Amino acid sequence: MEMKSELGNFRDHIRDDLKRELADIREEIQQKLTDLKTTTGWVDKAEGRIADIEECTADLSEALSQSLQTQENLQVKVTDMEARSRCNNLRIYGIPEGTEADDVQQFIDNFIKKELQPLAEVELGIQRCHRALGPKPPAEAQRRSVVVYFQEFKTKELVLHSSWKNKEIYHGDKRIYFDHAYPAETLAKRKEYAQIRRILREKGIRFQTPLPAKLRVVLDTGPITYSSAAEAAEDLQRLVFPVHWEKPAEAGIPEKTRSHLAARSEYIQPADAPRSV
- 15-68 pLDDT tens trace: 877 888 888 888 888 888 888 888 888 998 899 999 999 999 999 999 999 999
94 touches 146 (CB < 8 A): no
- 152-174 pLDDT tens trace: 999 999 999 999 888 789 988 88
User: What percentage of residues in the chain have a pLDDT greater than 90?
Assistant: 35
192 touches 229 (CB < 8 A): yes
Bridge partners of residue 150, in order along the sequence: 126
Per-residue b/e over 115-154, b at no fewer than 16 CB within 10 Å? Answer: bbeebeeeebebeebeeeeeeeeeeeeebbbbbbbbeeee
Tell me, yes or no, if the pTM score tops 0.75: no
User: What percentage of residues in the chain have a pLDDT greater than 70?
Assistant: 85
Q: How far apart are CA 160 and CA 124, in angstroms?
A: 12
- Around Cβ 99, how many Cβ atoms within 10 Å? 13
Q: How far apart are CA 123 and CA 128, in angstroms?
A: 14
For residue 83, pLDDT over 60 is answered with yes
